[in-house]
Amino acid sequence: MSSNATSANLPPAARQLPRADLAALVRAIGSIPMEVSETRTDIDIRIDAGHLLALVDALRNRPDLAFDYLRNVSGVDQSPEGMELKYHLYSFKTGYSLQITVPTGTGHPHVPSLTGHYPAADWHEREAAEMFGFVFDGHPNPRNLLLEEDLHIHPLLKAHPLQAAEVMQGIESGPPGFTI
């Protein structure tokens, strides 16, 4: 950015508005139980899976928020505490960015699909299901993207059966997440 350019004359997609403003707007939604906190880069909304669709509806439909773009969906294995899904949303209208964290149990936790809200959720959810074992209720096409359909492993889980071999080969560091 040149020295005479200011964030005020940049298009919304090129600037990040102050997080304090966004946190206040998200808290004003009010009717949905959630925890709002700040990370180094985003506002983080921690919410139960049962309230995810209501939150996403509010984030998309409120003109002062207008979250119209799903950047990413990531699974995180927090074993033994459980797992989490991280949704990263962006608003081209306002320039706001945020993260939604949905804590789940282990195994094959069920979470509602966001494919009806964001077409990009199709591939993101399929990858999270394949790599971690999440089940996205209402997903229109839950086929694997990378692994063969009859292969019933989830390679990014800490308890993945090949993790010990990957540690021994130097692909991963640290002890495996389970005992062989």
E strand or H helix at 166: helix 163-168
pLDDT tens string 4-48: 445 556 555 555 555 678 999 999 998 899 999 988 778 999 999
Residue 66: phi and psi, rounded to 5, are 50, 50
- pLDDT of residue 94 exceeding 80, the answer is yes
Delimit the domains of the chain by residue range: 7-146, 153-180
- pLDDT of residue 108 exceeding 80, the answer is yes
Beta strands in the chain (DSSP E): 35-38, 43-46, 69-77, 83-90, 97-104, 110-112, 135-137
Topology (CATH level 3) of domain 7-146: Beta Polymerase; domain 2 (3.30.460)
- pLDDT of residue 100 exceeding 90, the answer is yes
| Among the ranges given (8-17, 55-64, 84-93, 149-158), the one the predictor scored with the smallest mean pLDDT | 8-17
Going by pLDDT thresholds of 50, 70 and 90, the confidence category of residue 153 is confident
Name the DSSP class of 128: H
pLDDT tens string 127-147: 999 999 999 999 999 888 888
pLDDT tens string 161-177: 666 665 566 555 555 55
> How much is the pLDDT for 152?
72
- 3-class secondary structure per residue, 24-73: HHHHCCCCCCCEEEECCCCEEEECCHHHHHHHHHHHHHCCCCCCCEEEEE
Cβ atoms within 10 A of the Cβ of 91, count? 21
- pLDDT of residue 111 exceeding 80, the answer is yes
